[in-house]
């Protein structure tokens, strides 16, 4: 079955461009809080169950609750409207690709690939006109950046006792980004490129536990501690400024000067995220769940040399959110009963390291999940609307549509002898 779906997985990998944001230009850009579509539908940071009763794909401690092995992918399309601009920015890209194998309802292992942050931004200044001894000079500037850090993650879940479980995961951080500064003088582009590579690692300790279990209600708690094992270091390839005579965005033999140098700069300790998160979920016997989550995130990097157009970077972040999830039943006769409904609301605050300025973000989310087939396949969709703003500065209106497909299969099933 997994091989049958290679086409879908390939399509999920096609787009990797998220919509640009003003705030992506601060340092390495904004870090993503949500990865799986089920979590996105509830506005969750992935601690509490949103995919299946007792299971969040983003929390390894809950993976033993899965009844099947899953391949899961999430893909989002985002629209960001900046200030009073008439036009919006659109972008799309995969949010997560994941493979999870539950083992005997007690253990689980999983692999995933997900974007950690987003560096996509595109700025333009107004045109400036000046006369240089009778020669008219008109120029403006453009700044573009894209790419970012990805995390390749390996995680496993182990039981602590019959009420608690632990999930450990190791994230290998890697990736690259490219930024371009250009000055357009009388329609001639002068460009400068930087290509940056990243490498580092993070490990996470996840916890899931049943705190209270009565006839009508069950209260579960979840927590995660993320720590940097190896701060992200990188190499910056800084290409010299050149005149892009043929305006093809890259340096070639038609451009001036004939050759350019590339400075290779090694930079260490540029990104060292750590966070503490916890959440509570109250599940009622009618499959309705109410949850709340809180997260404190901090970048403890000591080196700020990877700056962009804004000489500042994200230093910390807090998240508060809550919502409702009503899980569908896989074996229900009526298709309506197989639908999982999600609703959430959240608020995030980013703090900039150098200036101390705060970026506030809030959002409302709604999502649906539809179970089909005997192996727990699930199609999830999520919609989020919200705003992100800095006091007395830019304001962005965000709309995001996410689609996720999780295909289940049975592994490690004891076969009957023929």
Partner 1 sequence: MNINILNTTLGVCLVGLLALSACEEAAIPVGVDNTPITLDTISFPVVKAIAYQSPPEMGKTEYLYFGKQDGFDFQYNLIKFDSTSVTANTPFSYFNDSLVVVDSLRLSLRFDKDSITSDAEFQLRYFPSGGDSVFNELESNYLNFNQAIASEIISTAQMEADSIDTNKTEVYLNFTLDSSIVNAFRDTSVLEYNRSFLVELANESSESFYFHSTDIQAGIKPELTVFYRQFLSDTVVLDTTSRSYLAVADISIITPAPISFEDSTTLSVSIAKGLKSIVFVDMGDWTLPSKSIVSSAQIIFNRVESDSIAQFKVISHPMTSEGVYERFTSFMDDPYDEDLNFFVSTALIDNVLKINHRKAATEIGHKNFTNFGFKLQSSFNNDPFTTVQFYGINNTDYYPVMRVIYVLP
Contact criterion met (CB below 8 Å) for 367 and 42: yes
Question: Considering only residues 308-327, where is the footprint of partner 1 by CB under 8 A?
Answer: 309
| Candidates 49-57, 104-112, 178-186, 221-229; binding stretch for partner 1 (CB under 8 A) | 178-186
Q: Does 119 bind partner 1 (CB under 8 A)?
A: no
Tell me which of 28, 100, 101, 121 binds partner 1, using CB under 8 A: 121
Q: Does 410 bind partner 1 (CB under 8 A)?
A: no
Q: Does 183 bind partner 1 (CB under 8 A)?
A: yes
* Cis bond upstream, residue 131 (ω within 30): no
> Judging by beta carbons within 10 Å of its beta carbon (0-12, 13-18, 19+), is residue 142 exposed, middle or buried?
middle
| Candidates 108-116, 156-164, 278-286, 372-380; binding stretch for partner 1 (CB under 8 A) | 372-380
At residue 7, what are phi and psi to the nearest 5 degrees? -60, -45
| Candidates 40-48, 82-90, 215-223, 355-363; binding stretch for partner 1 (CB under 8 A) | 82-90
**Least distance to partner 1, CB of residue 379, Å:** 6
One-character DSSP codes across 240-294: PPEEETT-SSS--TTSBSS---EEEEEEEEEE-EEEEEEEEEEEETTSEEEEEEE
Tell me which of 9, 17, 225, 267 binds partner 1, using CB under 8 A: 17
One-character DSSP codes across 25-94: GSTT-EEPS--SHHHHHTT--S-S--SBTTB-TT-GGGGGG-SSEEEEEEEEEEEEEETT-SSEEEEEEE
Q: Does 30 bind partner 1 (CB under 8 A)?
A: no
Please report the beta strands in 128-245, taking only residues with DSSP state E, as ranges in sequence order. 128-132, 135-159, 164-185, 188-213, 217-239, 242-244
Question: Considering only residues 209-248, where is the footprint of partner 1 by CB under 8 A?
Answer: 240-243
| Candidates 32-40, 83-91, 270-278, 318-326; binding stretch for partner 1 (CB under 8 A) | 83-91
Chain residues binding partner 1 by CB under 8 A are 8, 11-12, 14-15, 17, 19-20, 22, 75, 77, 82, 85, 87-92, 121-126, 128, 132-133, 135, 137, 139-143, 181-183, 185, 188, 190, 192, 240-243, 256-257, 309, 370, 372-375, 377, 379, 394, 401, 403, 405
């Amino acid at each position: 079955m997994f091989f049958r779906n290679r086409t879908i997985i390939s399509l999920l990998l096609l787009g990797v461009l998220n919509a640009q944001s003003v705030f992506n230009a601060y340092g390495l850009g904004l870090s993503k809080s949500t990865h799986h579509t089920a979590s996105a539908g509830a506005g969750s940071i992935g601690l509490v169950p949103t995919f299946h009763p007792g299971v969040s794909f983003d929390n390894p401690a809950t993976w033993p609750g899965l009844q099947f092995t899953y391949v899961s992918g999430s893909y989002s399309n985002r629209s960001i409207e900046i200030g009073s601009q008439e036009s919006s920015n659109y972008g799309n890209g995969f949010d997560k690709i994941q493979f999870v194998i539950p083992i005997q309802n007690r253990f689980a292992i999983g692999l995933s690939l997900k974007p950690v942050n987003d560096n996509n931004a595109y700025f333009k200044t107004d045109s400036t006109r000046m006369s240089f001894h009778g020669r008219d000079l008109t120029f403006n500037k453009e700044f573009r950046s894209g790419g970012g850090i990805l995390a390749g993650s390996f995680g496993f879940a182990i039981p602590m006792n019959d009420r608690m479980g632990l999930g450990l995961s190791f994230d290998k951080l890697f990736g690259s980004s490219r930024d371009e500064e250009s000055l357009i003088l009388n329609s001639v582009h002068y460009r400068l490129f930087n290509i940056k590579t990243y490498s580092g690692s993070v490990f996470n300790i996840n916890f899931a536990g049943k705190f209270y279990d009565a006839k009508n209600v069950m209260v579960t708690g979840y927590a995660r501690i993320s720590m940097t094992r190896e701060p992200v270091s990188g190499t910056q390839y800084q290409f010299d400024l050149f005149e892009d005579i043929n305006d093809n965005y890259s340096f070639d033999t038609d451009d001036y000067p004939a050759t350019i140098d590339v400075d290779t700069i090694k930079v260490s300790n540029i990104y060292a995220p750590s966070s503490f998160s916890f959440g509570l979920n109250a599940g009622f016997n009618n499959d309705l769940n109410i949850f709340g989550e809180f997260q404190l995130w901090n970048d403890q990097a000591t080196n700020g040399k990877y700056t962009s157009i804004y000489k500042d970077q994200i230093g910390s972040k807090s998240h508060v959110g809550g919502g409702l999830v009503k899980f569908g039943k896989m074996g229900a006769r009526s298709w309506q009963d197989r639908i999982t409904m999600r609703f959430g609301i959240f608020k995030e605050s980013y703090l900039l390291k150098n200036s101390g300025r705060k970026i506030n973000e809030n959002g409302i989310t709604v999502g649906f999940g539809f179970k089909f087939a005997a192996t727990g396949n699930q199609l999830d969709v999520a919609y989020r609307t919200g705003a992100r703003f800095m006091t007395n500065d830019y304001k962005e209106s965000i709309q995001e549509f996410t689609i996720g497909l999780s295909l289940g299969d049975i592994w490690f099933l004891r076969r009957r002898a023929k």
